[in-house]
Amino acid sequence: MCQHPPQPHPVKTPYPLRQAEEWWVTVSPWLNHLITFLKFGIPLAGKSLEALLDEADVKKIQNSINLIEEIVKDSPQFPVLDSMDRSTTVPILHKQQEMIGPALRALQSYLDAVDPHRIWGELHMTVTPDGHILWLCAEHRHQYEAKPLQLQA
């Protein structure tokens, strides 16, 4: 998805996601974090998000969230991480890193397999003037590119 701030939009060709059950179990901790972000992030954006995206895109995003929720819910081996549990001597952040690290490595392996040339859905990692990193399509990244210096004679 192009992360162009005024109007995020899906890319033309998404990656296929037919994977074995154990792969889904491995990436489910990261998916759980993604679901949490989307559940709170999209309502916070509220009407402004709906104004930026057309109704079909909003429906696609909601369908994707619902699918990810079902996948995570159907992963019986996924350990639930209670961030409020203070009875452990192991720091909570360490537990999260132990679970999310393998999930991100599995996701990276998947991306390396489906996109060996690292085209990334024709998205480009773009650093904004304020230091944020956005993944943008060719059309939207141009406004963030450095312009050549033009000297007047």
pLDDT at 149: 81
Sign of CA dihedral 77, 81, 85, 86: positive
Cα distance between the two ends of the chain: 43
Contacts of 21 (CB under 8 A, 6+ apart): none
Report the number of distinct structural domains present in the chain: 1
pLDDT at 84: 47
Q: Is residue 44 one of the residues assigned to a domain?
A: yes
Q: For 16-75, how does the pLDDT look when each residue is reduced to its tens digit (9 = 90+)?
A: 888 888 888 888 888 887 777 767 765 555 555 555 566 676 677 777 777 777 777 766
Q: Is residue 53 one of the residues assigned to a domain?
A: yes
pLDDT at 141: 92
Q: Is residue 151 one of the residues assigned to a domain?
A: no
Query: In which residue are the tokens 């489906």 written?
Result: 114
Range of the domain at 65: 21-80+89-117
**What amino acid is encoded at 110 in this protein?**
Y
pLDDT exceeds 70 at position 120: yes
Give the integer Cα–Cα distance in Å for 126 and 132: 8
